[in-house]
Amino acid sequence: MKGKVLMLDEAIARHVQDGACVALEGFTHLIPFAAGHEIIRQGRRNLHLVRMTPDLVYDQMIGMGCASRLTFSWGGNPGVGSLHRLRDAVEQHWPGALEIDEHTHAGVAAAYCAGAARLPFATLRGYLGTDLPAVNSRIRSVECPFTGERLAAVPAINPDVTILHAQRADRQGNVSLHGIVGAQREAAFAARALVVTVEEIVDALPPAMNGIVLPHWIVSAVAVCPGGAYPSYVQDHYARDNGFYQRWDTIARDRDGFRAWMERHVLGCRDHASFLKSLREAA
Amino acid sequence: MNDWTRDEMMTVAAARLLWDECVCFVGIGLPSAACNLARLTHAPEIVLVYESGTLGTRPDVLPLSIGDGELAETAACVISLPEVFSYLLQAGRVDVGFLGAAQVDRHGNLNSTVIGPYDAPKTRLPGAGGATEIAAHARQTFVMLKATPRSLVPKLDFCTSGGFLDGNGARARTTMRGGGPQAVITDYGVLTPATGTDELQLTALFHGATVDEARAATGWALKVAANVETVPVPTAVELETLRALHSRTREAHNRPVQLPV
């Protein structure tokens, strides 16, 4: 693969521009934290962030002022409580106003599928009995031309760039991932550019009949980044740090404490390896 | 056994509503404890589905998130999210959806989105996630929440997930395919919808709870069924199983994780 293996900072500089629509996907598992941190370090602004579950990675990016718009369907710290930086942005517009485009999981999943197929919108028997369509004009309905049933319609999601983390890639740029796979395949095919961080690059991928392989011609860049999903996890490599997710509730609760943590562990570290080292030293 | 807490009674009462081999879509928190208690007691072949796509999972400890690694490792199979929501849920292949919420109204509609106005929220909550479509499409739903006049409210600040809508058959006139909320399990007892009006009424009390207590903890004028059952207290097996599950869970969640190198 000619020129596809980049350092993470090069991959982000090349593929993530100010104002872009960016989806860092991974449902609890394989969340691309290292890439999110690099976007913060490079000071990207006015991003339209897309993710089903913003999770800590978008809490950090929103709190550091990277985003002006968020498409999402569940914005909490799983099993812990609030995402305090997301809440502060929505409730108090800190550090800036954040426009929200709020959906359900089924709606975002369908919108990624439509985006992957380059269809203009997705239909689903969804958003029934909820107030969401009253607050989000992008949730509309269409009539089935065969039965006359009213079905929900949401516009396709086609990110300028989707960023994923995966177990491995081969030297040609094929990317292999397994475990909980969320909507990563759909988000990958829906994107105009695809950047993937991986635990390792290997000579040949193991056979993956029905496993997910993202073929090399849809992959724009691969960066080797061991530990790149931490504090999320990588099946068969390292576990989710549930303790960190619990501690984040305290770290992110107030603005100053959050800023100090980000300055020390993200802005003050040149890459993901030094981020992990700084956490080991602080432990 | 008399030394049980209301929290434990809630979980036990919810677990007893599940049956062996039922396909159950599990929310995190109280529902997850109830569903796993059922699996570890009277319903060994229950199929637990977490929205992360883990089907038939049998975790040894309760997950913190709906996507912990153990859910995948102990699952019969793992499928993608579009498949979970279209092929399972929307296609009507889920028997029971188990939901929590910040607010529920007298017709079993749920709010997990916002307290205060949507555009100027007093408290921004996580939002819908899978709940809206679980509430619409699961063949029936059970709801668990602690009762206070601020959680059992006359009017929701925002309707995230539809129950019986305005009641009196309103849900049946929509294209929602599932049967709606058939039980709301609180920490004083159980509310179920009345035939015809679809209004939640008190049909069962926990041992030691009273109708007056239930009324005081409910933000609307709670109707009481002609016969209010008393829910049998937890058995020794139920309590021991639940406590062991919580104890394993605490230990697992406190175990330090090695940082990746």
* pLDDT class of B7 with cuts at 50, 70, 90: very high
Q: Into how many domains does chain B fold?
A: 1
pLDDT reported for residue A2: 56
Q: Into how many domains does chain A fold?
A: 1
Cα–Cα separations (whole angstroms), residue B23 to A73, B35, B52, B141: 24, 11, 15, 12
Q: Which residue of B has its CA nearest to A184?
A: B80
- Quickly tell me which residue has 């369509």 as its tokens: A133
- Across chain A, mean pLDDT equals 96
Q: Is residue A255 part of a domain?
A: yes
Residue A211, domain CATH = 3.40.1080.10
Q: Is residue B148 part of a domain?
A: yes
Overall average pLDDT of the A77-91 stretch: 96
Q: Is the dihedral of CA A179, A234, A187, A123 positive or negative?
A: positive
Residue numbers of the domain that contains B114: 6-253
Q: Which residue of B has its CA nearest to A99?
A: B119
- Quickly tell me which residue has 């992959």 as its tokens: A219
Q: Is residue A129 part of a domain?
A: no
Q: Is the dihedral of CA B78, B81, B82, B83 positive or negative?
A: positive
Catalytic residue among B8, B21, B45, B51: B51
% of residues, chain B, pLDDT over 90: 92
DSSP for B123-162? Answer: EE----TTHHHHHHHSSEEEEE----TTTB-SS-SS-SB-
CB pairs under 8 A between A and B: 209
pLDDT reported for residue A212: 87
* pLDDT class of B184 with cuts at 50, 70, 90: very high
- Regarding an ipTM greater than 0.90, the answer is yes
Q: Which of B127, B85, B210 is nearest to A107 (CA)?
A: B85
Over residues A208-244, the pLDDT tens digits come to: 777 789 999 999 999 999 999 999 999 999 999 999 9
Q: Is residue A2 part of a domain?
A: no
Length of chain A: 283
Residue numbers of the domain that contains A18: 8-103+158-282
Contact A230/A257 with Cβ under 8 angstroms?
no
Q: Is residue B78 part of a domain?
A: yes
Active-site residue flag, B229: no
Q: Is residue B259 part of a domain?
A: no
> Shortest Cα distance from B223 to chain A (angstroms)?
24
Overall average pLDDT of the B167-182 stretch: 96
Q: Looking at the predicted structure, is the pLDDT value of residue B2 above 70?
A: no
Overall average pLDDT of the A66-71 stretch: 98
CA distance A164 to A187: 9
Q: Which of B14, B11, B13 is nearest to B232 (CA)?
A: B13
pLDDT reported for residue B258: 85
Over residues A97-123, the pLDDT tens digits come to: 999 999 999 999 999 999 999 999 999
> Shortest Cα distance from B93 to chain A (angstroms)?
14
Residue B117, domain CATH = 3.40.1080.10
pLDDT reported for residue B188: 97
Q: Which of B166, B209, B168 is nearest to B186 (CA)?
A: B209
Over residues A153-201, the pLDDT tens digits come to: 999 999 999 999 999 999 999 999 999 999 999 999 999 999 999 999 9
Say whether B127 and A74 touch across the interface (CB within 8 A). yes
DSSP for B155-213? Answer: S-SS-SB-SSTTSTTTGGGSS--S--EEEEE-SSEEEEEPTTT--EEEEEEETT--HHH
**Is pTM beyond 0.80 here?**
yes
Say whether A149 and B256 touch across the interface (CB within 8 A). no
- Quickly tell me which residue has 């699952």 as its tokens: B75
Instruction: List phi, psi (to 5°) of B229.
Output: -75, 155
Alpha helices in B2-83 (DSSP H): 6-16, 30-40, 69-73, 81-83
